[in-house]
Structure 1
């Protein structure tokens, strides 16, 4: 009997780091970790783009958070860095595809605690196009084939 499975290649991911924005210790830990992530990126530990800290809910994320965009070329190094350095912070890792709801649920991986609730009203079941980011880096969905 033949099996049915998806063979699409995921080429970009988001790493969302969460913290309790009303708790000064949790906020401080997130700020320190955010600085570590930015320093790792700047020193070439892995390639990524790190957003600013959101000191409250934003989009589907119901508590304080920040995200990093990571192309598939840096996924292993970024994942390793997060596992070793996130401390007590909870991190959601999800792919970027046209299926936003599925990416944030069935395809998501959580570091730390049990999954946190997300406000899914912000997400679409299916986008018209794959949401690739930072095409100027020529990584992820924007990668240039090697010759």
Structure 2
């Protein structure tokens, strides 16, 4: 990764998606993330919010922790769908072009980020 790319990424967000029938799995992942890593956990959103099409919570972590947290999520996501994206200041590109998905890629509502 070039120095410019490293400098452009200020941190990462993981959005852990869930439905009523697997919210307990989402809670388990959340509790383990909180216990094992230096993360900031967002509120539970039991309804779609922002560009996110279903219920989710956000996990904020540093660039230094990416190599620990993302592999852990790959192996411990409990079958949940997770969006991981960088924080560069360009919300549209971060969610659309620069994101990675664990599980199913959900269709995000990106219209809120598009320039008018």
Query: Highest Rg: 1 or 2?
Result: 1
Q: Which residue number in structure 1 is paired with residue 85 of structure 2?
A: 94
Q: Which residue number in structure 2 is paired with residue 8 of structure 1?
A: 5
Q: Which residue number in structure 2 is paired with residue 117 of structure 1?
A: 107
Q: Which residue number in structure 2 is paired with residue 106 of structure 1?
A: 97
Q: Tell me how far 1:122 sits from its aligned partner.
A: 2.8
Structure 2: 5+ residue runs without aligned partners? none
Q: 2:59 aligns with which of 68, 83, 102?
A: 68
Note the aligned Cα RMSD (angstroms): 1.9
Hey, what's the Cα distance between the residues in 2 that align with 1:73 and 1:19? Answer: 27
Q: Which residue number in structure 2 is paired with residue 31 of structure 1?
A: 27
Structure 1: 5+ residue runs without aligned partners? 41-45, 126-147
Hey, what's the Cα distance between the residues in 1 that align with 2:63 and 2:27? Answer: 25
The normalised TM-score by structure 1 is: 0.69
Q: Tell me how far 1:15 sits from its aligned partner.
A: 0.5
Q: Tell me how far 1:87 sits from its aligned partner.
A: 1.4
Q: Tell me how far 1:31 sits from its aligned partner.
A: 1.7
Q: Which residue number in structure 2 is paired with residue 80 of structure 1?
A: 71
Q: Tell me how far 1:47 sits from its aligned partner.
A: 2.0
Higher helix proportion (structure 1 or 2): 2
Greater relative contact order (Cα 8 A, min sep 6): structure 1 or 2? 2
